[in-house]
Amino acid sequence: MRRDYNIDEKINMLLDFFSSSEYKPMRFKDIAALLQVPKGSKHELKEVLDFLVIEGKIITDDRGRYRTPGDRVKTGMFSGTQKGFGFVIIDGEPEDIFIPENATKGAMHGDKVTVLISTEKNGKRKEGAVLQILERGMKEIVGTFQKSKNFGFVVPDNQKFNHDIFIPKEHTKGAVTGHKVVAVVTNYGDGNHNPEGKVIDIIGHMNDPGVDIMSVVKAYDLPVEFPKEVLRSLDFIPDEVDSKDYNNRMDIRDLPTVTIDGEDAKDLDDAVSLTKEGDIYHLGVHIADVTHYVKEGSALDKEALRRGTSVYLVDRVLPMLPHKLSNGICSLNPGVDRLALSCYMDIDVKGNVIGHQIAETVIRSDRRMTYTDVSKIIEDQDEELIKEYNDLVPMFMLMLELSEILKGRRHKRGAINFDFPESKIIVDHNGKPVEIREYERNKATKIIEEFMLIANETVAEDYFWQEIPFLYRTHDKPDDEKIKALAIFINNFGYSIKVGNEDIHPKELQKLLNRIEDTPEEALISRLTLRSMKQAKYTVANTGHFGLSAKYYTHFTSPIRRYPDLQIHRIIKENIKGKLNGDRREHYEKTLFEVANQSSMTERRAEEAEREVDKMKKVEYMTDHIGETFTGVISGITTWGIYVELPNTIEGMVRVSDMSDDYYIYDEERYQMVGEHTKKTYKLGQTVTVEVIAADKLLRTIDFAFVEDEK
């Protein structure tokens, strides 16, 4: 709805009207009559009322009467399940509201709804009933087409959307059984009829190479092709740095500088340099000056903001910026001049930054190093590599020294380190997974992590105290209820955390993670601890980063692949040049809120798509290993089954219904599964041998069975 002063005045007037003690719930025609709204203006009243309903400020009851919601009526997003029931996620509420199947009122996954919350019973999860569907969430569905003689169905890939979409024959667009399609929903149906839609795009056959990943791309509405105006603008981007751009920049091309990345990295957006004088380390973190080429308000800039982030999907990257920038002029490739924004830090032997400078620079990276080679030099003392990089080895050893000091400083203040194993999925030219292994992290990766963390903190603290409009990376304290629930749970394993009247300190969770290290319950408690915490996000207010135990934090180090980094580079450069006047500050105060929200949203979307593709490829990989046996570790136990994680990070489930040798009972207090007759016990962390019995790529599930001789 278009907002102006008159509309805002009407909204406020109506809210006062509804909240007055004299108001009694009434229908639209009665409100119009009471307020003496002229016949020609009734549509304006209806528009304002509809807006207030969508915003959750008022609701309509079963008789069509408008009323204020009250404390028990909330607005949130409906999250569906395969089994028909769902949950309503409400901003600011620590817990989702459970919605039984008979109380969803036809709500589907992603819908914005109002919910009437029931009173809590015996400390259990809050329950509720959907009162009204305010706005449909999923308007386009990606799924598998199934053809019948005179119509078709689309079976959604998203299992949370638990209705097939009926497609009339004239709207199938020629799709055949097995096609992956995009269907737009034209009618959401009711309790007796399925939703109806029409096919608007055929992605390809489900068995064709690459179609599976493209289905995820379409489902998450990830941008693939760059618009024509963006591609046209690339004609004005040079292949090499123009020497006139060196003016007013610090020339550090003679400073020994390296990039350290993974073997397959192509967008090298950070380089590092390090020297030491006496007890002071001089660390330089040099970041590609992307904003020199991506001007504010340009087609490139608007598209970068729309994308928000690069997305990494196993065998492809959907970049935030076109390759001419990300792999070319903005990539800090060795032996060529590049423009950068550098953060120089003087760091003492305790890891404190005692001085710093942020400057526009021109650099020339000496070497493109890999984590593997640097690790072999500093950890394995590889003679051949030491000889090859002889002139740089002293700097690498100094980097290791400083990184361990910085890590110790972070640990001392209470930073939480979640060290979950990540997957490295290797696929062939058809996108078929041929190997899945744990992604190796070594001391070289930790060097770069520590250097990027300290640069981000230093920049954030500088701009906070300058009171300049800025973007911060924030992580709020966990909700008390979730921490108390975690404390109760871990008590079953003999652990405790201090939960008093004051907020929990991250050091308490750090201590917990240290105590559970190398125990059978480590994986489970680590995951539950992570789930008890809030999501990090981008904000214009600096509220600190709980997980890092940092008062000031931002994202400064990856402007090629993250828009917030690019945005703050623009602010920093204007400030350095003295151009951040009143008008510019006001401009950023108006625009940064939207940038923060867009960046947080696109980051979550990218993470969900990446997880979905990883899960899909793991299931696909295991379809070729059905009947084979593997050794794994019990990673979780529920009433319906036992989760087993293999060394390559793949996780599957042994369903209780498939454990035919006995009747197994879930011992919730000890978190174990016990056979009623045999007393055979399955515990967290126990090493077991399993056989792969099924893998469903559509449902993203892997089923295991314990081998018979399991003890």
This prediction has a pTM of: 0.85
Last residue of a domain, one of 515, 533, 551: 533
User: Is residue 309 in a domain?
Assistant: yes
User: Is residue 567 in a domain?
Assistant: yes
Taking residue 228's Cβ as centre, other Cβ atoms within 10 Å add up to 9
CATH for 204: 2.40.50.700
Residues 455 and 518 occupy one common structural domain:
no
How high is the pLDDT of residue 710?
A: 47
- Render 101-170 in DSSP notation, one character per residue: GGGSTT--TT-EEEEEEPPP-TTPPPBEEEEEEEE-S--EEEEEEEE-SSEEEEEESSTTS-SPEEEEGG
Residues 157 and 302 occupy one common structural domain:
no
* Confidence class for position 124, pLDDT limits 50, 70, 90: low
User: Is residue 193 in a domain?
Assistant: yes
Residues 470 and 484 occupy one common structural domain:
no
User: Is residue 110 in a domain?
Assistant: no
Q: What is the mean pLDDT of the chain?
A: 90
Collapsing DSSP states into helix, strand and coil, what is residue 55?
coil
Domain count, the chain: 4
Examine the pLDDT at 191 and tell me if it is beyond 70: no
Residues 507 and 467 occupy one common structural domain:
no
Residues 494 and 642 occupy one common structural domain:
no
Residues 246 and 324 occupy one common structural domain:
yes
* Confidence class for position 265, pLDDT limits 50, 70, 90: confident
CATH for 690: 2.40.50.140
User: Is residue 40 in a domain?
Assistant: no
Give the model confidence (pLDDT) of 563-610 as tens digits: 999 999 999 999 999 999 999 999 999 999 999 999 999 999 999 999
User: Is residue 174 in a domain?
Assistant: yes
Give the model confidence (pLDDT) of 515-560 as tens digits: 988 888 887 888 888 888 889 999 999 999 999 999 999 999 999 9
Q: What is the DSSP letter of 671?
A: T
Q: Exposure pattern of 427-440 as b/e (b: 16+ CB <10 Å)? A: beeebebeebeeee
Residues 187 and 258 occupy one common structural domain:
no
Residues 571 and 431 occupy one common structural domain:
yes
Of the candidates 375, 444, 457, 441, the one whose C-alpha atom is nearest the C-alpha of residue 409 is 457
User: Is residue 629 in a domain?
Assistant: yes
Residues 197 and 315 occupy one common structural domain:
no
User: Is residue 184 in a domain?
Assistant: yes
Could you tell me the residue range of the domain that residue 514 belongs to? Answer: 480-533
Of the candidates 285, 566, 253, 330, the one whose C-alpha atom is nearest the C-alpha of residue 447 is 285
